[in-house]
Structure 1
Amino acid sequence: MLREGRGGVSAVTAPAGHHQYDSSASTGDLVGQAAMQISTLVRAELALAKAELTEKGKRAGIGGGLFGGAAVLAVYGLGLALVLAVVALDLVWPLWLAVLVVTVVVFAAAGIAALVGRRQLQAVGSPVPQETVTNVQQDVDAVKAAAREGRS
């Protein structure tokens, strides 16, 4: 059964009325008890994982919202820095030339960032987690081989 702790579900305990050892139990009874205990353990572990993921999801949502707010403020700051660059260049050049130079620099920076990002995305390759797929396939093959050996 599940026990509630400080952070939600924290431990698994044996169901009430079940002993750890029963010397008079038949093999079938022991297998049935083991299956029931494994089922209870799996359900408890899933409940624990669900509680943990819910808590982490809440924190991630708050963190993501704050990060998004920071990004919006950074965009405003970048805009102000660009205006400052135009005003500073306007002191020595005509306004149209200052705006043109700042615009060209911004578009050049955007182009370089796009090319670097494209190269990074091409380096990633397939989004399928190949190592995980290989490991799962090996596990499936091992279970199939064990099942075949058990039948022989």
Structure 2
Amino acid sequence: MTRVTDRQPQHSESSARTEPVEHAEHSVGELVNRATEQLSQLIRDELRLAGLELAAKGKNAGRGGGLLGAAGAVAYAGLMAVAGTGVAALSLALPVWAAALIIAVVLYAVAGVLALAGRSRLAKAAPPLPEEALGSVRADVEEIKERAHR
């Protein structure tokens, strides 16, 4: 069964010529209203796309952060083993307390340098932008500008 909306209208030659006149009969207010609705829908769609893109990036960042956290925990355990080995080796030539103090000072110095380097990097970091959505918005703006100048 064919719905009424699925049927193609039968145009004669005379009705085809009057079609542009029908479009010309729309008031400026109707055209502005239609353009505003389309622009609103376009902005909503672009915001939805940006949200999806940021969510995907956030999910990947979360997984990467978890893996880095696990790697840090294992590296910390390894560093403590190396520090213990250093204390044991130095204790052959120095008292145990002096060997432990030297290793502790070295570890704190390394931690200070790493903290300064990390703070410097974080200060330079910017949040990631949803590139796909921004590119799409730029293309939409260009299309609107072109159509407005016609």
TM-score by length of 1: 0.54
Cα RMSD after superposing both structures: 2.9
Residue type at the aligned position of 1:67: L
Kindly tell me: are residues 58 and 113 of structure 1, through their superposed partners in 2, closer, same or farther at Cα, counting changes over 3 Å?
closer
Q: Which residue number corresponds to residue 106 of structure 1?
A: 107
**Which structure 1 segments of 5+ residues have no match?**
1-20, 125-152
Q: Deviations over 1:33-91 (max 9, x none)?
A: 10010011011111111111121111111111111111111211211111111122123
Higher relative CO (Cα under 8 Å, sequence separation at least 6) belongs to: 2
Is the aligned partner of 1:59 residue 2:60? yes
2-structure distance, mates of 1:22, 1:37: 17
Higher helix fraction (1 or 2): 2
Q: Distance in 1 between matches of 2:98 and 2:108?
A: 15
Change (3 A) 1:100 1:50: closer
Segments of 4+ in structure 1 off by > 2 A? 21-24, 90-97, 103-114
Code of the residue aligned with 2:96 in structure 1: it is L
More strand by share: 1
Q: Tell me the number of residue pairs that the alignment of Structure 1 and Structure 2 aligns.
A: 101
Where does 1:3-152 land on structure 2 (aligned, <5 Å)? 22-110=23-111, 116=116
Q: Secondary structure at the match of 1:22?
A: helix
* Structure number with bigger Rg: 2
TM-score by length of 2: 0.55
Identity across the alignment (%): 45
